[in-house]
Amino acid sequence: MNETKLKSYKEIINSPLVVLNGIGRKRAELFGKMGVSSVGDLTDHFPRAYQNRGNVRLLNEAESGLACSFMLTVATVPRTARLKNRMEITKFRAFDESGRVEICFFNSRFAEKVFDVGQTWRFWGRIAKGRNGLTMTAPVYERADIPGTRLPDLVPVYPSTAGLTQSVIADAVKSAFGLIGDRAPEEIIPPELMLRTGVPDRMTAYRFVHFPQTVREAQEGRRYFALREIFEFVLAIRVTRSSRNRGTPPSLRKVSVGPYLEKLGFTLTGAQKRSVDEILNDMTAKGHPMMRLLSGDVGSGKTAVAGAAAYVCAAGGYQCALMAPTEILAAQHYGKLSPIFEKLGLKTALLTGGLKESEKKRVREGIASGETDVVIGTHALISKNTFFARPGLTIIDEQHRFGVIQRACVAENTGEKTTPHVLVMSATPIPRTMGLVMFGELSHSVLDELPPGRQEIKTYCVDFGYTERLDDFIRKQVSEGGRVYVVCPAIEREKDPEDLLSVDSLDQEKTELHYAVEEYERLKESLGEISVGLVHGRMKAAEKDGVMELFASGKIQVLVSTTVIEVGVDVPEATLMIIENAERFGLATLHQLRGRVGRGKKKSFCILVSDSKGENAVKRLGVMKDCSDGFRIAEFDLQQRGPGDYLPDRGYARQHGESAAPLLADVDMLRESEKSVSGILDSDPDLSAHPALREAAGEIAGKNERLLQ
């Protein structure tokens, strides 16, 4: 087809997959299952790892069962024989300088035509040692003796789906880049930003990601996409912020917060008082609508502060929406706040998915008519089809992801021309650097003080030599009525280890992994009487809940798990948290995990177990040991691992999987992007001179909206 000659980059990437050689309707459908439906989707379908085929062994060095590469010359003509069970086997012999091997393929008569005597191929597969010598069944094969071409050492391993082989995907990717040729898209990242952060240009980055010569190239390629994501993120948040800044804030009647504080039942901490003052100042000042972040560790008392803001808004004549991430949290807030508000004469409603349709409708009518003063519910319910008569304040609880925040800030579902105030609350301490980008100078309130009576959790770092002593410590805690968490980074040993290289790891050292399933078996054996449970991400929700309940009620005393317990569990009797392979986790995760203990009156402990000698790992674990301040931990983590945890999900820069692989995005990218975007917006506030940037900012807003639904 010669028509492609005239096409632009954009036209090509928007074309359906069937324009590629070898992709018909059937295969296109399979790709569709992975969300890959256009040529552009395919170029953005990144390998999840790379297989190292450069590690070529001689036949006499082969360890049986372990897959690796061999350079072999074909010695005999392939012959096909018919087996009893209607199978066919095609066999031939091949050799290298150290020995020979029989290679077989099943039901692959075409192999007769592939291999000719005298050719050299690179075979990748497992060697079996049998009575009649070595055999290799169904290896991967690549012609290795074509003059002028060199086989790449690294072969991408793509996310796949049943029916699509790696080679079909890889060929499709090659064909896509063949079509694109030397066309390139318009670059929206300013050139000096690319220069300062040292990333390759986009087409080079694609080449590095899909066809790397070295691991380093694969990483370099990904850095471009990380920068792009961060740049777009900063751009979109700044555009949202500046358009909000131009909006008219609601004109609240001035009321005192005193009556609310009297009904609260406790005195605010100094940090809470300061935060309430900052928020009320923003809400009553003339100027622009508030966009403020309130962050504080779990238990620092954010709800009471949010309540003060809601009260001042509602008593001042406007409506307040309080959005929580889960129904349970929404119900909890409602349970705490509505009795206070009702006593103060404010009408409060709960809007959750669990309500009957007719009830939801009634609640929404109350909001639309203006009768309801405060509505508490989940993000999704409040942001969709919910119209406010007099929107004054939107509070978003437990959110540090930009997509959700931005969606709430745009808030076009309002009946008025005013732009409501926004307060975002998060227990994932958002580091200062990040807060600055998202909320700007002076709009970050911090609860850096816990309400009285909380105790610090003693943290220790040990190596696996301590396993027996730790078992004793578990027995001691349990005999004193405590309960114990044991967290492992992975569920189960992979049955089929391949020679995979991940590009996401910061420490190149490899520590031995500890698996939840094995640790569970070991502890059951070692702890005898004590009952041990297991939860992990591959279990069904109902199963998980069942085990969690047994742990909460004390029928299980030791719970082995993966990070599934990171959020939302509250077992006050838990006094000991043991984290194995602690070097594998991000600090934010370690901090959240540690927060699962120390919730009752008893002294609590967190033990980080690691054999790692890596410089970064040792530093990170040291920070955990010496520091219980979530903000300092988050700031350190941001410096080391980059800002990926705060970006919209599903990004290039984000890690995949359960444990915390470090990211290739870094804080410098964030700072440099912020500088660059500020410079552009200063001279061109509505981006009228930068149409491509304007379009990008709009597209990201749309993407985030989709993520919410």
Give the Cα separation of 427 and 400 in Å (integer). 8
Q: Which of 8, 64, 77, 266 binds ligand ADP (CB under 6 A)?
A: 266
Contacts of 231 by beta carbon, 8 Å cutoff, 6+ apart: 188, 189, 193, 669, 673, 676, 677
Q: Quick check: 249 binds ligand ADP (CB under 6 A)?
A: no
Query: Should residue 352 be labelled a site residue for ligand ADP when binding is judged by CB under 6 A?
Result: no
Residue 45 is encoded by which pair of tokens? Answer: 């379908």
CB of 592 to ligand ADP, least distance (A): 12
196-202: long-range contacts at Cβ-Cβ below 8 A with a sequence spacing of 24 or more?
Answer: 196/672, 197/223, 197/227, 197/668, 197/669, 197/672, 198/223, 199/223, 199/224, 199/227, 200/224, 202/228
Q: Rounded to the nearest whole angstrom, what is the least distance from the CB of residue 178 to ligand ADP in the complex?
A: 54
Hey, what are 705's tokens? 């909206």
Selected from 78, 301, 431, 662, the binder of ligand ADP by CB under 6 A is: 301
Q: Is 600 in the site for ligand ADP (CB under 6 A)?
A: no
- Residue whose C-beta lies closest to ligand ADP: 301
Stretch in the footprint of ligand ADP (CB under 6 A) among 18-26, 194-202, 228-236, 264-272: 264-272
CB-nearer residue toward ligand ADP: 197 or 428? 428
Q: Which of 302, 316, 386, 319 is nearest to 351 (CA)?
A: 386
Q: Which is nearer to ligand ADP, 426 or 612 (CB)?
A: 426
How many positions of this chain bind ligand ADP (CB under 6 A)?
14
Give exposure, 524-550, as e/b (b: 16+ Cβ within 10 Å).
Answer: bebbeebebbbbbeebeeeebeebbee
- Contacts of residue 629, defined as CB under 8 A and 6 or more positions apart, other chains included, come to 448
Q: Which of 36, 304, 350, 661 binds ligand ADP (CB under 6 A)?
A: 304
Strands (E) across 558-696 are located at 558-561, 574-580, 605-609
Question: What does the chain come to in residues?
Answer: 709
Structure tokens at 290: 């508030």
From candidates 119, 284, 303, 502, binder to ligand ADP by CB under 6 A: 303
Which window, 61-69, 265-273, 281-289, 401-409, contacts ligand ADP (CB under 6 A)?
A: 265-273
Identify the three-state secondary structure at position 556. Answer: coil
DSSP 44-103: T---SEEEE---EE-GGGPPTT--EEEEEEE-S--EEEE-TTS-EEEEEEEEETTEEEEE
Among 451, 546, 600, 614, binds ligand ADP (CB under 6 A): 451
Q: Looking only at residues 384 through 443 of this chain, which bind ligand ADP when binding is defined by CB under 6 A?
A: 427
Span near ligand ADP by CB under 6 A; candidates 172-180, 226-234, 301-309, 585-593: 301-309
Structure tokens at 229: 């994501």
Question: Is 268 an interacting residue with respect to ligand ADP (CB under 6 A)?
Answer: yes
Least separation in angstroms between CB 202 and ligand ADP: 42
| E strands in 427-479 | 444-447, 458-462
Q: Tell me, what DSSP letter sits at residue 345?
A: T
**269 binds ligand ADP, rule: CB under 6 A:** yes
Q: Which is nearer to ligand ADP, 130 or 265 (CB)?
A: 265
**By C-beta, is 56 or 329 nearer to ligand ADP?**
329
Told to check if 630 binds ligand ADP by CB under 6 A, we report no
Q: Give 179 or 430: the residue with its C-beta nearer to ligand ADP.
A: 430
Q: Which amino acid is at 420?
A: P
**Shortest CB 498 distance to ligand ADP, Å:** 43
Q: Are 391 and 411 in contact (CB under 8 A)?
A: yes
Between residues 272 and 575, which has the closer beta carbon with respect to ligand ADP?
A: 272
Q: Does 245 bind ligand ADP (CB under 6 A)?
A: no
Q: Which is nearer to ligand ADP, 268 or 707 (CB)?
A: 268
Residue 431 or 644: the one with the smaller Cβ distance to ligand ADP is 431
Q: How far is the CB of 278 from ligand ADP (least distance, A)?
A: 16
Q: Which of 114, 257, 298, 569 binds ligand ADP (CB under 6 A)?
A: 298
Beta strands at 500-501 and 68-74: parallel, antiparallel or unpaired: unpaired
Nearer to ligand ADP, 301 or 431 (CB): 301
Interface with ligand ADP, residue 270, by CB under 6 A: no
Q: Least distance to ligand ADP from the beta carbon of 427, Å? A: 5
User: CB of 201: closest distance to ligand ADP in angstroms?
Assistant: 45
Shortest CB 322 distance to ligand ADP, Å: 12
Q: Would you give the distance in Å from CA 57 to the centre of its chain?
A: 37
Beta strands of 288-345 (E only): which ranges?
Answer: 291-296, 319-324
- Percent helix, strand and coil across the chain, each rounded to 5? 40, 20, 40
Sequence-distant (≥ 6) Cβ neighbours of residue 116 within 8 angstroms = 74
**Which residue, 271 or 582, has its beta carbon nearer to ligand ADP?**
271
The reply on whether position 302 binds ligand ADP by CB under 6 A is yes
Interface residues with ligand ADP (CB under 6 A) are: 266, 268-269, 272, 296, 298-304, 427, 451
